[in-house]
Amino acid sequence: MAGSMKLSTLPILLLLITCLPSSATGSQDQESFLYTGFAGSNITLDGAATITPAGLVKLTNESFRIKGHAFHPAPVRFREAPNGTVRSFSVSFVFGILSSFGDIRGHGFAFFIAPTTDLSAAFPIQFLGLVNATNNGSATNHLFAVELDTIQNTEFGDIDNNHVGIDINSLNSVESNTAGFYNDDSSSREDDGMLTNMSLIGSGPIQVWVEYHGESTRINVTLAPLGVAKPARPLLSTVYDLSGVLTDQAYLGFSSSTGLSTGHHYVLGWSFGMGTPAPVIDPTKLPKLPYLGPRPQSKLLEIVLPIASAVFVLAVGILAITMVRRHIRYKEVREDWEVEYGPHRFSYKDLFRATKGFKDKNLIGAGGFGRVYKGVLPKSKSQVAVKRVSYDSKQGVKEFVAEVVSIGHLQHRNVVQLLGYCRRKGELLLVYDYMENGSLDNHLYGQLQGKATYLGWRQRFRIIKEIALGLLYLHEDWDKVVLHRDVKASNVLLDKNMNGRLGDFGLARLYDHGTDPQTTHVVGTIGYLAPELVHRGKATTLTDVFAFGIFVLEVTCGQRPIKEDPQGNQLVLVDWVLQNWHKGSLADVVDAKLQGGYDAGEACLALKLGLLCSHPFPQARPSMRQAMQYLDGDVPLPELLPEHFSFHMLALMKNESKVYSSAMPSYPSPMMTSFGSISDFSIHGR
């Protein structure tokens, strides 16, 4: 070590310069040395002892029953003159013992002064590489040692397995004590200072001071953790005249050994002073002890580390939980076949954000198939209506999504634009353009709190025409026939300009032109279902026309297709209109809320067209194109009499009544009210 070399070689250099002739004895008069680490030093090693790359002297290795020694290379002269007394000297060193296997203890080690560096005859294990079984206790050993023992050997009278002892010629200590140090704390003077126990193993670097006073022949041994100032009261203090022990010249060194358990004995720094205090070892310049198993920790680390790791674990836990929750919250169902629908696919996360987590505040309506939420898409900032539809069967989802996507291609000013979809387990989310003015039924029946503005006739007639246009577009103006299947006032939505738009394609089914329409279970809303749809479950463009007819009557009369009067009788709108027509008072059915403010010709046209469209006999109904022409006045409505409906109804009953009654056994006969033939179809239409 640079520091030690400076101090140890400086006196030699001075001697060489000042008194060259006596330079031969110069090395023997060397009075002090200092090793701050041992890297590059001229220390003499034997056995398993090595200098680690970090500059520590490591006395033993992991092998069993081995010894290791480290010596200051030059002997030290302990007497002023031959046969004189041993002079005062002072030694200080810093060591660390690490245990290889947790609590399994290795043997300790010793600082010693011996006449020779040849300790090849000494035994390892409990002899610490200092003596053997025959020369233990022999005065010819000229051995002085301070043992730092970590195993209790009863044959040597050890007091415990963590003690410090002063040994003369044998391993039986003349004085020993449990390792520790006396606090200098003046406040505890009454106890004469408390002994603070210290574990030799694993307590980090420990500093030892060994002092001998030549005149009083007192030997003091003091321990303290590295960095703690030398305690005033030594751990061991005994009187033993070393003049009878040490040879004139002797070597200073460290010794250690292993038995069946190994330890790691490190010396970090070392200083010696003959007749002077040992040079101070600067703890900050010492090499660090390697980390092996539990490492001594500073108080700060002891507190900060557990807290830091707890915080870390907590943070990781929270992160994991939020990620799992996010994953579950935004989990979607996505399959390979959906790839082609990519652009129409919305991420659930976006929809979740758009609707503020599907909050009740954003709920704008609940239909028969799910709840509808208002939302603002995070990216485009456009307003949307998100409809959550639950479905149970995996079957048909593919077809359904295909439909949804192809419906997304539909674009018409009288059709609510479907923007896309998202699929989750058991749930489908349909995203539509948001319609500011809500659904038509709310306006018709004044359910809008505050703005109970009833629609005037001009607006109503316009909306009827617009819905006719929208339906015509679905039926004819596209490469596929699209059936709406659920035409009704609550599925007619009004945009911000009060334009009527046909909405809610959740139930629509597609089929190609010409192919036979597939038969499915009945979908739609009671009151708008064509009789043949109820009986055969066959949806056609004409079943849509039927529902449109009911819708037209509804808008004109301002009444629901079926309602209960205060007496609990069910009133069927079609019956009622026909009844009035029979009586010649057709004008009475027009919505009273209009207070006569309507065009009589248009209203009459609407009522007759409504009846014609909702004719029980499908063949009697016009197509949407024809209906459009009638509404525009391009083609006059055929001359109709109420009897036409009765006649058709009778024919219908003759031909199909058996089918009807067997298909609908649950419909009670009391429903066959006043208007016999007509009420029959109304019942089925419910």
Ligand X SMILES: *[C@@H]1O[C@H](CO)[C@@H](O)[C@H](O)[C@H]1NC(C)=O
Give the residue numbers annotated as catalytic, written as ranges. 486
Nearest alpha-carbon partner for 486 in 595, 394, 599, 368: 368
Nearest to ligand ADP of 258, 437 (CB atom): 437
Measured CA to CA, the distance from residue 298 to residue 571 in angstroms comes to 89
Q: Of these partners, ligand ADP, ligand X, none, which one is at the site of residue 213 (CB under 5 to 8 Å by kind)?
A: ligand X
Residue type, 250: A
Shortest reach from residue 470's CB to ligand ADP, in Å: 14
**108-116, 149-157, 246-254, 362-370 -> range binding ligand ADP (CB under 6 A):** 362-370
351 belongs to the binding site for ligand ADP (CB under 6 A): no
- In sequence order, what DSSP letters do the residues of 333-354 get, joined into one string? ---GGGGGGGGGBPPHHHHHHH
Q: Of these partners, ligand X, ligand ADP, none, which one is at the site of residue 259 (CB under 5 to 8 Å by kind)?
A: none
Answer for which of 141, 257, 414, 491 binds ligand ADP (CB under 6 A) is 491
359 annotated to bind ligand: no
Distances (CA, A) of 71 to 15, 201, 251, 569, 668: 24, 23, 7, 118, 117
**What are the residues binding ligand X (CB under 6 A)?**
42, 44, 47-48, 61-63, 66, 73, 82-83, 121, 132, 134-137, 155-156, 160, 170, 172, 178, 197, 211, 213, 218, 220, 233-234, 237
Measured CA to CA, the distance from residue 231 to residue 183 in angstroms comes to 7
* Helix, strand or coil, per DSSP, at residue 217: coil
Q: Which residues have a Cβ under 8 Å from the Cβ of 433 and sit 6 or more positions away? A: 383, 384, 385, 416, 417, 419, 495
Shortest reach from residue 446's CB to ligand ADP, in Å: 14
Nearest to ligand ADP of 265, 387 (CB atom): 387
Q: Quick one: three-class SS letters along 66-91?
A: CEEEEECCCCEECECCCCCCECCEEE
- Angle of helix 600-613 relative to helix 457-476, nearest 10 degrees? 40
Shortest reach from residue 316's CB to ligand ADP, in Å: 43
Answer for which of 208, 286, 493, 586 binds ligand ADP (CB under 6 A) is 493
Nearest to ligand ADP of 351, 435 (CB atom): 435
By beta carbon distance, the residue nearest ligand X is: 137
**Helix residue spans in 558-675 (DSSP H):** 573-582, 600-613, 624-632, 642-663
Spell out a b/e string for 81-106, using b for 16 or more CB atoms within 10 Å of the CB, else e: eeeebbbbbbbbbbbbbbbeeeeebb
Other beta carbons within 10 angstroms of residue 141's beta carbon come to 21
Q: What is the dihedral of CA 203, 207, 213, 214, to 10 degrees?
A: 110
Nearest to ligand ADP of 439, 682 (CB atom): 439
* Helix, strand or coil, per DSSP, at residue 282: coil
Shortest reach from residue 570's CB to ligand ADP, in Å: 20
Shortest reach from residue 365's CB to ligand ADP, in Å: 2
Nearest to ligand X of 165, 234 (CB atom): 234
Q: Compute the C-alpha angle 285/44/140, nearest 5°.
A: 120
377 belongs to the binding site for ligand ADP (CB under 6 A): no
By beta carbon distance, the residue nearest ligand ADP is: 367
End-to-end distance of the chain based on CA atoms, in angstroms?
105
Nearest to ligand X of 122, 464 (CB atom): 122
Q: Of these partners, ligand X, ligand ADP, none, which one is at the site of residue 136 (CB under 5 to 8 Å by kind)?
A: ligand X
Nearest to ligand X of 73, 202 (CB atom): 73
498 belongs to the binding site for ligand ADP (CB under 6 A): no
160: left (phi over 0), alpha (psi -120 to 50) or beta: beta
Shortest reach from residue 393's CB to ligand ADP, in Å: 20
115 belongs to the binding site for ligand ADP (CB under 6 A): no
Nearest to ligand X of 96, 234 (CB atom): 234
95 belongs to the binding site for ligand ADP (CB under 6 A): no
Answer for which of 148, 416, 539, 683 binds ligand ADP (CB under 6 A) is 416
Site map 433..462 versus ligand ADP, x via CB under 6 A: xxx--xx-----------------------
Q: Taking a C-beta distance cutoff of 8 angstroms, is the pair 63, 48 a contact?
A: yes
Q: Which residues have a Cβ under 8 Å from the Cβ of 314 and sit 6 or more positions away? A: none
Measured CA to CA, the distance from residue 644 to residue 646 in angstroms comes to 5
365 belongs to the binding site for ligand ADP (CB under 6 A): yes
Shortest reach from residue 379's CB to ligand ADP, in Å: 19
**314-322, 407-415, 489-497, 601-609 -> range binding ligand ADP (CB under 6 A):** 489-497
Nearest alpha-carbon partner for 404 in 521, 505, 540: 505
> Phi and psi at residue 19, in whole multiples of 5°?
-135, 75
Shortest reach from residue 391's CB to ligand ADP, in Å: 14
Answer for which of 168, 372, 552, 612 binds ligand ADP (CB under 6 A) is 372
Q: Of these partners, ligand ADP, ligand X, none, which one is at the site of residue 234 (CB under 5 to 8 Å by kind)?
A: ligand X
Residue type, 12: I
Nearest to ligand X of 41, 580 (CB atom): 41
Query: How many positions of this chain bind ligand ADP (CB under 6 A)?
Result: 20
Q: Of these partners, ligand ADP, ligand X, none, which one is at the site of residue 214 (CB under 5 to 8 Å by kind)?
A: none
490 belongs to the binding site for ligand ADP (CB under 6 A): yes
User: At 518, which helix (H) or strand (E)?
Assistant: none
Measured CA to CA, the distance from residue 478 to residue 475 in angstroms comes to 7
Residues that bind ligand ADP (CB under 6 A): 364-365, 367-369, 372, 385, 387, 416, 432-435, 438-439, 490-491, 493, 503-504
Which parts are annotated binding residues?
387
Which parts are annotated binding residues for ATP?
387
